[in-house]
A = this chain, B = another copy of it.
Amino acid sequence: MTTSNPHPLPSDPDPSLPRPGLLRGVLAPVVTPFRSDLSPDPARFARHCSWLLAHGCSGLAVFGTTSEANSLSVPERLELLEGLTSAGVAPGRLLPGTGCCALPDTVALTAHAARLGCAGVLMLPPFYYKEASEEGLFRSFSQVIQRVGDTRLRIYLYNIPQVAQVAITGSLLERLLKAYPGTVAGVKDSSGDWENTRAMLAFAPDGFQVFVGSELFLLENLRHGGVGCITAGANVNPGPIDQVYRLFQDPGAPALQAGIDRIRAILQRHGPLIPALKAVLAHFSRDSAWRTVRPPHVEMGLDETNRLIGELEAEGFSMRGI
């Protein structure tokens, strides 16, 4: 256990490979489609990914919380990611979630993503053991970075304390950035606490990318130097969210932000969010297979779905081209 004193990274396995460009803007934690036997459906997944990229998303944070990633096995994630690149999704658009409870799983997923040329990875801390110390979390991330040993790797730390119950604190962030300045590239703050995001923005060194975890904070984030959002809502409402991103310095930006806030509020009122998003997608794509979730989630009932769709349509919501 020498990980508290990080040593230089092993040399890049193929240093001639370029490092992918940095993503900014609106990223979707893409919902994962399941067949009726609950197996993942790579073709339907690739189709939704292509639609998202064509309708406002600059990137895809596949295997996020909203993706039911933590209900997927490691082999399922590897296969789905390869399916996407085989289907023509550019790896430079991908920011897959790779943080698991077990170090070997996180290493396998992260190394695979780096090898494929993904823009980066979004990494949860190991989340089973609560009250993990800062030293223990530092060692966790440090071990992953050392073992992956790929200088192309960019890690975005994923702070979602209300779910993971293990937070990415400012002092942990500071320590990791100091040890791995080229690798620790940014953070997704899903704390839902703007003051927490603001503290991260205030601290962020040049080039460090702060994404918020909900479109509700997008305009504020951009105004304070953040680079975008990685948000569940982008699965169904990518265009209007992207408008806020593109026009954030425009006088009309607050009205655009208010518009996406209203849609988000409707989705949340009919939550839980994952079955709600899948129900909306099923309705507008006329593809009921999208309703399926893996337990412990439960698909949204039809009455509830009808109420949700009714409220969305009353706001003028649509999903063009789906």
Tell me the A residues contacting B by CB distance below 8 Å.
1, 3, 36, 38, 65, 70-74, 76, 101-105, 108, 125-133, 135-137, 139-140, 142-143, 162-166, 272, 292, 294-299
In the complex, the answer to whether B102 meets A143 with C-beta atoms within 8 Å is no
In the complex, the answer to whether A296 meets B125 with C-beta atoms within 8 Å is yes
Give chain B residues whose Cβ lies under 8 Å from the Cβ of A133: 296, 298
Give chain B residues whose Cβ lies under 8 Å from the Cβ of A162: 130
**How far is the CB of A46 from the nearest CB of chain B, in Å?**
21
In the complex, the answer to whether A139 meets B101 with C-beta atoms within 8 Å is no
Give chain B residues whose Cβ lies under 8 Å from the Cβ of A104: 72-73, 76
Give chain B residues whose Cβ lies under 8 Å from the Cβ of A129: 65, 70-71, 163, 296-297
**How far is the CB of A269 from the nearest CB of chain B, in Å?**
16
In Å, the complex CA distance between A38 and B107 comes to 13
Number of copies: 2
In the complex, the answer to whether B296 meets A126 with C-beta atoms within 8 Å is yes
Minimum-distance CB pairs A-B, first 7: A136-B296, A70-B128, A132-B296, A139-B295, A140-B295, A73-B104, A70-B101
In the complex, the answer to whether A103 meets B295 with C-beta atoms within 8 Å is yes
Give chain B residues whose Cβ lies under 8 Å from the Cβ of A297: 129, 132, 136
Binding site secondary structure of chain A:
loop
In Å, the complex CA distance between A105 and B131 comes to 25
Give chain B residues whose Cβ lies under 8 Å from the Cβ of A292: 1
In the complex, the answer to whether B74 meets A126 with C-beta atoms within 8 Å is no
In Å, the complex CA distance between A140 and B298 comes to 10
- Known interface pairs A1-B299, A295-B143. Does A73 touch B105 (Cβ–Cβ under 8 Å)? yes
Contact of A101 among B38, B101, B131, B140 (CB under 8 A): B101
A124: nearest residue on chain B (CB-CB)?
B128
In Å, the complex CA distance between A251 and B113 comes to 63
In Å, the complex CA distance between A303 and B73 comes to 41
In the complex, the answer to whether B130 meets A128 with C-beta atoms within 8 Å is no
In Å, the complex CA distance between A136 and B299 comes to 9
A299: nearest residue on chain B (CB-CB)?
B1
A126: nearest residue on chain B (CB-CB)?
B296
